[in-house]
Structure 1
Amino acid sequence: MKRILFVLFCFAVTSSYSQNKISKNKKAIIASVEKHKQSLIKISDDIWALAETAFEEHQSSKILADYAESQGMTVERGVAGMPTAFVATYGSGKPVISVLGEFDALPGLSQKATPDKNPLKKGAPGHGCGHNMFGAASLGAAIAIKEQIEAGKIKGTVKFFGTPSEEKFFGKIWMVRAGLWDDVDVNISWHPSASIEADVQSSLALIDFKVEFFGQAAHASGDPWNGRSASDALELYTAGVNYYREHVKPTVRMHYHIQDGGQVVNVVPDYSRLWMRVRDTKRSGMLPVYERVMAMAEGAAILANVDYKVSLISGIYEVLPNREGGKIMQSNLELLGPIEYTDEEIAFGKGIQKATGKPEVGMDSKIKPLEPTREHPGGGSTDVGDVSWNVANINLGVTTAPKDTPWHSWAVVSCGGMSIGHKGMIYASKAMSMTMLDLFESPDLVDKVKKEYKERKGDEVYEAMIPDGPPPIDEVGN
């Protein structure tokens, strides 16, 4: 009992000490986020319930843009040729600090806010990556900074970028191509996670393309010799990709989704289509693999005596890490301390872990130390990478689900619609706005972050990996 009391006493003293170290302006930032807390939770919950997918986030985008406008920010909607993309701005002059907000859901992950798999509507979309919280928290951070500029405490410009279709077409690439970050000094981004850390790791570069085969239909029994099977070509192609897996580096990932393999069994199919992705930790390693699997499409077409077409959808760069920015974020995480959970929330988290076959250890809200930046990290891909090759970028991860939760799953959707997700979202809003405040208050910090960005980028010339023309709005649903 004495040991427990001693631990509680030490925790209270540490928390009090951290609070005493928080500056007056940072206390005002925290108060601003708290003031908007219930509105931000409602925004997040509304977007969670809407669960709109890539380029269909019309209501979700409007909710965020309308709230930014109601708080005195100037909003430009439909930027970069995307109806659901927007920029909310407040202030003038330098520095210009921006923050990213995503809001698209994933197909097929509909889920109630319960610790067992229980869809709201079977087969419907759900926020399996927590983007309902992503956009709301980032907007809260931008508004907190806006209020400090408005009060005359800091000078400069804050921007909130509403970025659609991160999960499918990578909308930020078109926003980058439109030059929307050209005047920005530093960008801030976060992502829902199962832990809290200033993220100084990279991600995987990715190329996204479509392979189509065109043959000749015929009766599958009566005269199959008159047919040329597009489905045969598709199978030969996927066989080639799968044999190739043995001969690529361990950092490479290749995966595909067969979108059309024929319609009925008694017709030799004259059309087939496959959606393919290639990834690696470096764009330089990804491109040769991409070229090889493109050549395989020609080989499959020759073998099946059909025609073929490879169409680029989009491609994204790996994230360019920034340790100087990570240090600033880390200091603010340590000021805030860990997230505290109720017994009910811990039980909910353990229920998620039980349902997904993970150890029932509950939540992980400890502040991770700033880790060394790894040369070849694992994980997924994000179009934040393209932003990070055009402006210095600071990343953050915050706990919004229990430890070891499978991402892109119903479990993330569940937590994102209740208090576990809400707490992480509000925490992220505070951490980002405090970090942004440091940048506004210290030109030296901005210079350090930008210097590292330039050193890491080196002589690399960024080239957007997207086709000429507008974003593929007409591809929605295909």
Structure 2
Amino acid sequence: MSKQDILSWIDDNSATFTEMARKIWEHPEVGYTERFASSLQADTLTKEGFSIAWNIGEVSTAFIAEYGNGKPIIGILGEFDALPGLSQEVSYTESPIVAGGPGHGCGHNLLGTAGVEAAIALKKRMEEEGLPGTIRYYGCPAEELLSGKTYMAREGAFDDLDSVLTWHPGSFNMTANFSMQALTAVEFFFSGRTAHAAGAPHLGRSALDAVELMNVGANYMREHVPDGSRIHYQITNGGLAPNIVPDKASVYYFLRGKTRLAVDQLLERLIKTAQGAAMMTETSVDWAIRAGCYDTLPNVALNDLMHTQAEFVGPMSFTEEEEQFAVQLRGSIHPEVLATGSAMTPSKENLPIGFFNLKQTYGMSLGGSSDIGDASWIVPMGQIMTTCAPAGVQVHTWQATAAFGSSIGMRGMHYAAKLMALSAYDLLLNVDGIIDKAKAEFALSTKGATYKSCIPMDVKPPFFKETAPAG
């Protein structure tokens, strides 16, 4: 049976991908610097007969691996960047491997590796059965900087796909019928006039005063924004010394909202706030877009397809040792965090094994953002989460880094690879017209809107002049 053959191949070759995920976990790299991870994945895919294209969207660590030809074209998204400051051993006590170093607290060592695993497993079946169609793995950098896929999308990397699949490590198994918020990251630069802060303060025009007045205005604006909007900021330059009126100062803002339009409107208002602050202080202001992404657009047809595969595969299982580690790791979490429950946390078991198709979350907008949103507004996208950490473990914590480097994380990764490979197989065969159903839903959801990148064409990605990684 073809589907059982896919599962058997993944089981027989799981050690290879466990090693890949482990190596990436042991070599954490932050966004746009993921040379080790991207090269490791691309080399593995090359050896399996995939063609590799580098420098997608002018990002040196972004690549596309492709096998097959013709329609349908099915994509699988992968990520591999780490987070700063989350270095951690596989331990239930806080134990950084490198103090202040990066770590995989969002599980992207697992996320991308499962995509590679699924793509190769499907390629094997395509060879065996002589199936037409194309499978692509997208090596996507800098998701944590909310812009890697945006640059790729701006170049048209997803335009010809029929469907795309992805997943994310979590603390239980579910379809992602919810949305995540659109975001714009923008930095404002104020210029004034320096002076001696005690001897001649009247001659100065403080750029820092402008930053602080802008922040006051933004904070007052919070009362008058749509529900669910978020405004975060960080002063990135506050001057050189207290006794020098600063002629240069800057502030970095994240703006989030339920829709791309809502964030664009927030940006317009924030720019006016900055200009008002500049007028009040007799300074000038410029700004630069640093990153941005769309809200995620779930596709229930594809999520239902992925849920069906979970019924075929069956539930996950964990060893007694893994259960004990889960209990110990949960013991390090603040009780208030563990007590928090919602429709997004359907189980309080240490290691949930059931698979939830949470359709009631459709239309719900979570507080975070992800650049998968850009892909989801270009092509129908299916997404799941699987148990890679104990219930209650929050991503972007040291506990998450520990879990995602453990055998618990590896089990969840292989489970996700199976569900994606089986779903992609059904998409290649267009079982029950699933591609047409997904596209029809996509057309209704987008209401005919055409994707337009929220990062202007003149904004280049960091390190865009670098050459592609060797390999």
TM-score bracket for the superposition, by shorter chain length: over 0.9
1:408 has 2:401 as partner: no
Q: Which amino acid aligns with 1:252?
A: S
The alpha-carbon deviation at position 311 of structure 1 amounts to: 1.3
How far apart in 1 are the matches of 2:29 and 2:78?
A: 15
Q: Which amino acid aligns with 1:314?
A: A
Structure 1 pair 470/227, CA: closer, same or farther in 2 (3 Å)?
closer
The alpha-carbon deviation at position 353 of structure 1 amounts to: 2.1
How far apart in 2 are the matches of 1:294 and 1:232?
A: 16
The alpha-carbon deviation at position 169 of structure 1 amounts to: 4.7
Which of 137, 140, 152 is the matching residue for 1:160?
Answer: 137
Which of 438, 458, 468 is the matching residue for 2:447?
Answer: 458
Contact 1:314 / 1:467 at 8 angstroms: preserved in 2? no
Which residue is 2:267 aligned to?
290
Which residue is 1:140 aligned to?
117
Structure 1 consecutive aligned stretches of length 4 or more whose deviation exceeds 4 Å: none
How far apart in 2 are the matches of 1:391 and 1:86?
A: 18
Which residue is 2:18 aligned to?
41
Which residue is 2:155 aligned to?
178
Map 1:376-415; keep pairs closer than 5 Å.
Answer: 376-415=364-403
How far apart in 2 are the matches of 1:409 and 1:227?
A: 44
Identity between Structure 1 and Structure 2 (%): 35
The alpha-carbon deviation at position 110 of structure 1 amounts to: 1.2
Structure 1 pair 229/339, CA: closer, same or farther in 2 (3 Å)?
same
3-state DSSP class of the match of 1:473?
coil
3-state DSSP class of the match of 1:405?
coil
Which of 203, 207, 213 is the matching residue for 2:184?
Answer: 207
**Alignment deviations for residues 212-240 of structure 1 (CA, whole Å, 9 cap, x no partner):** 11122223333322222221111111122
Contact 2:194 / 2:206 at 8 angstroms: preserved in 1? yes
Contact 2:59 / 2:461 at 8 angstroms: preserved in 1? no
Q: Which amino acid aligns with 2:396?
A: H
Which of 267, 287, 302 is the matching residue for 1:310?
Answer: 287
3-state DSSP class of the match of 1:154?
coil
1:111 has 2:100 as partner: no
The alpha-carbon deviation at position 153 of structure 1 amounts to: 5.1
Q: Which amino acid aligns with 1:283?
A: R
Which residue is 2:362 aligned to?
374
Which of 412, 436, 443 is the matching residue for 2:424?
Answer: 436
Which of 349, 352, 359 is the matching residue for 1:364?
Answer: 352
- Range with bigger deviation, 351-360 or 305-314: 351-360
User: TM-score normalised to the size of structure 1?
Assistant: 0.91
- Range with bigger deviation, 418-427 or 211-220: 211-220
How far apart in 2 are the matches of 1:404 and 1:249?
A: 30
Q: Which amino acid aligns with 1:277?
A: F
- Range with bigger deviation, 44-53 or 217-226: 217-226
The alpha-carbon deviation at position 470 of structure 1 amounts to: 5.8
The alpha-carbon deviation at position 264 of structure 1 amounts to: 2.6
Contact 1:326 / 1:370 at 8 angstroms: preserved in 2? no
Which of 210, 225, 228 is the matching residue for 1:251?
Answer: 228
How far apart in 2 are the matches of 1:396 and 1:284?
A: 26
Map 1:95-106; keep pairs closer than 5 Å.
Answer: 95-106=72-83
Q: Which amino acid aligns with 2:429?
A: E
Specify every segment of 5 or more residues in structure 1 that has no aligned partner in the other structure, as ranges.
1-23
CA RMSD, 1 decimal:
1.8
Which residue is 1:260 aligned to?
237
Contact 1:203 / 1:379 at 8 angstroms: preserved in 2? yes
3-state DSSP class of the match of 1:313?
strand
- Range with bigger deviation, 262-271 or 117-126: 262-271
3-state DSSP class of the match of 1:167?
helix
Which of 32, 39, 61 is the matching residue for 1:84?
Answer: 61
Which of 432, 437, 444 is the matching residue for 1:448?
Answer: 437
**Alignment deviations for residues 65-88 of structure 1 (CA, whole Å, 9 cap, x no partner):** 011111111111222211101111
Q: Which amino acid aligns with 2:204?
A: G
How far apart in 2 are the matches of 1:146 and 1:318?
A: 31
The alpha-carbon deviation at position 182 of structure 1 amounts to: 2.3
**Alignment deviations for residues 332-388 of structure 1 (CA, whole Å, 9 cap, x no partner):** 112223321222222222222221214495222321134235334223111111111
How far apart in 1 are the matches of 2:51 and 2:464?
A: 30
The alpha-carbon deviation at position 96 of structure 1 amounts to: 0.9
How far apart in 2 are the matches of 1:428 and 1:454?
A: 27
The alpha-carbon deviation at position 245 of structure 1 amounts to: 1.7
1:269 has 2:258 as partner: no
How far apart in 2 are the matches of 1:206 and 1:191?
A: 19
Which residue is 1:123 aligned to?
100
Contact 2:182 / 2:295 at 8 angstroms: preserved in 1? yes
Which of 321, 332, 351 is the matching residue for 2:328?
Answer: 351
- Range with bigger deviation, 425-434 or 366-375: 366-375
**Alignment deviations for residues 114-138 of structure 1 (CA, whole Å, 9 cap, x no partner):** 1122111111111111111110001
The alpha-carbon deviation at position 143 of structure 1 amounts to: 0.4
3-state DSSP class of the match of 2:285?
strand
How far apart in 1 are the matches of 2:419 and 2:125?
A: 15
- Range with bigger deviation, 304-313 or 388-397: 304-313
How far apart in 2 are the matches of 1:216 and 1:354?
A: 54
How far apart in 1 are the matches of 2:320 and 2:243?
A: 59
Which residue is 1:5 aligned to?
none
How far apart in 1 are the matches of 2:89 and 2:284?
A: 46
1:473 has 2:450 as partner: no
How far apart in 2 are the matches of 1:295 and 1:330?
A: 46
How far apart in 2 are the matches of 1:369 and 1:471?
A: 39
- Range with bigger deviation, 257-266 or 417-426: 257-266
Contact 2:181 / 2:296 at 8 angstroms: preserved in 1? yes
Residue correspondences, number? 453
Contact 2:66 / 2:137 at 8 angstroms: preserved in 1? yes
The alpha-carbon deviation at position 297 of structure 1 amounts to: 0.7
3-state DSSP class of the match of 2:190?
strand
**Alignment deviations for residues 197-220 of structure 1 (CA, whole Å, 9 cap, x no partner):** 121211111111111111222233
Which residue is 2:43 aligned to?
66
